[in-house]
Amino acid sequence: MQNTYLWINLFTVIFPFLLSFDKKVAFYKQWNSIIPAILITATFFIVWDIIFTSLKVWWFNPLYVTGINFINLPLEEVLFFIAIPYAGLFLYEVFNSYIKKDILVKQSKEISIAISIIFIIIAIINFSKIYTFYSFLFSAIYTVLLALIFKVKYLSRFFFMYLILLLPFLLVNGMLTGSFLNREVVQYNNLENLGIRILTIPIEDISYGYLLMLINISLHEKIKSYFLTK
């Protein structure tokens, strides 16, 4: 039972890793941008996680972790920030390889503005709830930076990818929050979130996962473009 979180991470990453050697996607050839993007993003989220765990915004059920810790985080939680982004980045590149038409390109700016406004409103209204405030605020700020300041071209593809990613996200995060287990792997202080759940998943996890993948993809695209110009 104590290997549960470890197995969830492995389940998440094993098939994307094995399929990384598909000839058309050739994901392994992009590891020079994928790995730095994951590590840089993971550093930010691990620091965030350490702070929130110390503030009891969330904590981890000892029944489902091995007991190996990094500061106050289980090793499995650290690996989460590698496994999930790897799987998400793989899916992003699969879409880029197999779906050439950018379906949401004409609506990209409007979608970015709408998401940012909605997220900012939710954050402001709930400034006293730590998880709600910071997850929605950071997501809004980062969306504005990419869409209106840097004016990147890949946001429409990210939006499409994240919509599709929500299905496996609900499966994996559902396991972590108790949808398919007797108890939660990750337990939340409901005083610091809205108390709104999709199955057993706090609604804040949607914006948290959104930001996690958006930072990974933006860094991947930036580093990849650097190598392409060399």
Dihedral over alpha carbons 213, 163, 188, 199 (to 10 degrees): -160
Residue 179, class by beta-carbon neighbours within 10 Å (0-12 exposed, 13-18 middle, 19+ buried)? middle
DSSP 44-65: HHHHHHHHHHHTTSEEE-GGGS
**Count: domains in the chain:** 1
pLDDT for the residue numbered 230: 66
- Alpha carbon 96 to its chain centroid, in Å, reads 19
Query: Which domain covers residue 41, as residue numbers?
Result: 4-228
Question: CA nearest 84: which of 25, 165, 178?
Answer: 165
Q: Which residue positions in the chain have pLDDT lower than 50?
A: none
User: Global pTM?
Assistant: 0.96
State both tokens at 39.
């590590």
pLDDT for the residue numbered 180: 84
pLDDT per position as a tens digit, 44-97: 999 999 999 999 999 999 999 999 999 999 999 999 999 999 999 999 999 999
pLDDT for the residue numbered 229: 76
